[in-house]
Structures are given as structure tokens and as C-alpha cells.
């Protein structure tokens, strides 16, 4: 059994389902102590049962005070945080001209503010101890906005990319032992589509959608070592570079 996470305390938001749940199970199987964070108490309880040594904290990560509380409670329970994964987010099915102000606000709240609040909660602790891993889950749509109905979601995930890269730049010299990672999943076979604002295609029905267990394994493999832009598909980086070249040629 791969046990590279033995003794590590890992906080994962959006851990009650999808990528967050799969990543939690993978890290627990490798010996890590996982702090599962989410709003759905029943689902958190179910996932925790599959993650030996884990615990959960029920919280709304779009509320800054609750995110700060998660950080404080995790430290109180375990005395340390080694890795923090901002995974919580939500999609939308709405074409550009149909977007309302409320739609855009919802995408920013769920996908950008939740990440910012997590960063602001844990980075001061990492500054204090001098090391740690921060991972923000974006999307391939944050690099390649290829789905018109996901325009607001793509924009929000692009903001996550920029915010993560800016943080990496800010702390590169002062905190060289703090690793800041951006995760880029593509289509993943989860209930993401069903839970999108306005509904949407069930992501499990998308042809060639990546299995969620595989995604969890890839992320677990890459959190502590390797490129800081972590693509869950082997061709992800190549596709992103190809997209940028295509734009340069227009």
C-alpha cells in the first residue's frame, strides 16, 4: 500500500461528494488524516466512514468566518495542517446572453470566494510554520473555455487560476517551502452536472469522462511533488498550450 501521506493532516473542502470524496478516500488509504469539509452532514458521515482516521467539519465555505473556524478547529484537533485543498465549487448551465447578475454573483461566491477564504485562512499558518501545501481546484474550462453554457463558470475558474498563480509569485521568495498547486480536472464522471445552477447534462453521461477514482489518485500523486500545474489528464498541459498557440495565431 502506498503510504506517502502517513502523519499528514489534509483539509479538503467540498469533500462530501465527487472529486473531494474520492481524494479524501485516496489520501486516507495512504495513511493521511483527512479533515472533510462540506455542508451535507449525511454525506460527510458516509464519506468519513470510508476514510480511516478522518474527521469532518460541517461548514459553508462561502462564509469567511466559517472557513476561519475550519482552520482553527482542524489545528485544535490535530495540532497541524500539512495540506489544504480548496475543492468546493459549483457549475452553471446558462449561455452568455442569458446570464443574470445573480448568476454571476453565485459563480463568484461558490468558486472564487470559497477559494480566497481558504487561502486567507491557511496561508498565515503556513507562514508561521514555514511549510505546507495549498492546492486550488480549477478546471480545464479555466484554461480552455470550450462550453458556451459554462461561460460564467469558466470565468470563475480562470479567476482561480490567476489568483493561485499570483499567490505563488507573492510567496515564492519569502516561503520557498510552501507549495502552491493549481489542479485542472476535465470532464469527470460525478454528479457535478446535475448540481449545476440551472441543471445540466449528467457528467457521468459525458463520453470519455474521467473516472473520479482515477482523478483522486492523480491529485494525490501530484500534491506534494511534480508540476505545480496539475492536470488530471495526461494530455491536459498539451491541450492548454495548443489552445494558447491557436489564440496567438488568430
Of the residues 5, 78, 125, 153, which is catalytic? 153
Residue 88 counted as domain residue: yes
Residue 27 counted as domain residue: yes
Give catalytic status of residue 153 as yes or no: yes
How far apart, in whole angstroms, are the C-alpha atoms of residue 20 and residue 87?
6
Could you tell me which of 67, 72, 27, 77 has the C-alpha nearest to residue 48? 27
How far apart, in whole angstroms, are the C-alpha atoms of residue 20 and residue 28?
12
Strand partners, 37: 13, 57
Residue 3 counted as domain residue: no
Distance of CA 111 to the CA centre of its chain: 9
Residue 204 per-residue DSSP state: G
Paired sense of beta strands 83-86 and 229-231, if any: unpaired
Could you tell me which of 97, 108, 221 has the C-alpha nearest to residue 156? 108
Residue 4 counted as domain residue: no
Residue 39 counted as domain residue: yes
Residue 213 counted as domain residue: yes
Q: List, for the chain, all residue ranges whose pLDDT scores fall below the cut of 70.
A: 1-2
Domain of residue 183, residue span: 9-249
DSSP per residue over 62-120, as a string? TSHHHHHHHHHHHHHHHS---EEEE-----B---GGG--HHHHHHHHIIIIIHHHHHHH
The pTM (predicted TM-score) of the whole model is: 0.94
Residue 136 per-residue DSSP state: E
Region class of 172: left (phi > 0), else alpha (psi between -120 and 50), else beta: alpha
Continuous segment of H or E residues that includes residue 46 = helix 41-49
Instruction: Report, in angstroms and rounded to the nearest whole number, the Rg of the chain calculated over CA atoms.
Output: 17
Strand partners, 184: 231
CB of 113 closer than 8 Å to CB of 201: no
Q: What is the pLDDT of residue 7?
A: 95
Q: What is the pLDDT of residue 105?
A: 97
CATH number at residue 121: 3.40.50.720
Q: What is the pLDDT of residue 156?
A: 98
Residue 2 counted as domain residue: no
Residue 73 counted as domain residue: yes
How far apart, in whole angstroms, are the C-alpha atoms of residue 221 and residue 223?
6
Q: What is the pLDDT of residue 81?
A: 98
| Number of independent structural domains in the chain | 1
Q: Which residues 6+ apart lie within 8 Å of 244 measured at CB?
A: none
Q: To 5 degrees, how large is the angle CA 229–CA 235–CA 237?
A: 30
Amino acid at each position: 500500500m502506498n503510504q506517502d501521506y502517513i502523519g499528514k493532516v489534509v483539509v479538503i473542502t467540498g469533500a462530501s461528494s465527487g472529486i473531494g470524496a474520492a481524494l479524501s478516500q485516496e489520501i486516507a488509504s495512504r495513511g493521511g488524516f483527512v479533515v472533510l469539509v462540506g455542508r451535507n452532514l449525511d454525506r460527510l458521515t458516509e464519506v468519513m466512514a470510508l476514510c480511516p482516521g478522518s474527521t469532518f467539519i460541517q461548514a459553508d465555505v462561502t462564509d469567511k468566518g466559517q472557513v476561519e473556524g475550519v482552520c482553527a478547529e482542524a489545528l485544535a484537533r490535530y495540532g497541524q495542517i500539512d495540506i489544504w485543498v480548496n475543492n468546493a465549487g459549483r457549475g452553471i448551465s446558462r449561455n452568455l446572453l442569458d446570464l443574470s447578475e445573480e448568476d454571476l454573483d453565485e459563480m463568484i461566491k461558490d468558486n472564487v470566494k470559497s477559494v480566497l477564504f481558504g487561502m486567507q485562512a491557511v496561508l498565515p499558518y503556513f507562514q508561521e510554520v514555514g511549510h505546507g501545501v495549498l492546492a486550488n481546484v480549477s478546471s480545464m474550462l479555466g484554461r480552455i473555455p470550450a462550453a458556451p453554457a459554462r461561460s460564467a463558470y469558466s470565468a470563475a475558474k480562470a479567476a482561480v487560476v490567476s489568483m493561485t498563480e499570483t499567490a505563488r509569485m507573492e510567496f515564492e521568495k519569502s516561503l520557498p517551502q510552501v507549495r502552491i498547486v493549481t489542479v485542472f480536472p476535465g470532464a469527470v464522471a460525478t454528479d457535478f452536472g446535475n448540481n449545476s445552477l440551472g441543471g445540466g447534462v449528467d457528467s457521468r453521461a459525458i463520453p470519455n469522462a474521467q473516472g473520479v477514482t482515477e482523478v483522486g489518485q492523480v491529485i494525490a500523486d501530484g500534491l506534494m511533488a511534480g508540476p505545480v500545474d496539475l492536470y488530471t489528464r495526461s494530455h491536459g498541459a498539451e491541450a492548454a498550450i495548443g489552445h494558447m498557440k491557436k489564440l496567438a495565431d488568430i
